[in-house]
Amino acid sequence: MNLLGLAALALMVWIFVRPPLTASDAMFKGAIGIGAAILLAPARRFGYLVYPFVLPAAALTFATAEQAGPSR
């Protein structure tokens, strides 16, 4: 549990030092946090492992849309 707390603290510091500027950046940082929490949690629920894979894919989609600009 100590490693889980340290990972949460490290993620919090990372977000405060370099806040996410876009939605895709926020999703990417969220995926890293969720992935670390799942890997370090004492209970193993492997069904939740899909979230760290889905969030970066969504972040790539958002990044592409953000670069394309608003659609009209």
φ, ψ dihedrals at 59, nearest 5°: -65, -40
pLDDT score, position 46:
67
Q: How many domains does the chain have?
A: 1
Q: What is the DSSP string of 21-71?
A: -SHHHHHHHHHHHHHHHHHHSSS--GGGGGHHHHHHHHHHHHHHHHHH---
Task: Give domain status of residue 72, yes or no.
Answer: no
> 24: domain range?
2-67
pLDDT at 36: 85
Phi, psi of 56 (to 5 degrees): -65, -35
Neighbours of 61 (CB within 10 A): 12
**47 within some domain:** yes
**What pTM was computed for the model?**
0.65
pLDDT value for 53 = 76
Q: Is residue 27 part of a domain?
A: yes
Kindly state whether residue 13 falls inside one of the protein's structural domains. yes
- Assigned token pair, 6: 């340290």
Series of mean pLDDT values for 10-residue runs along the chain (72 residues):
85 93 86 84 70 79 79 64
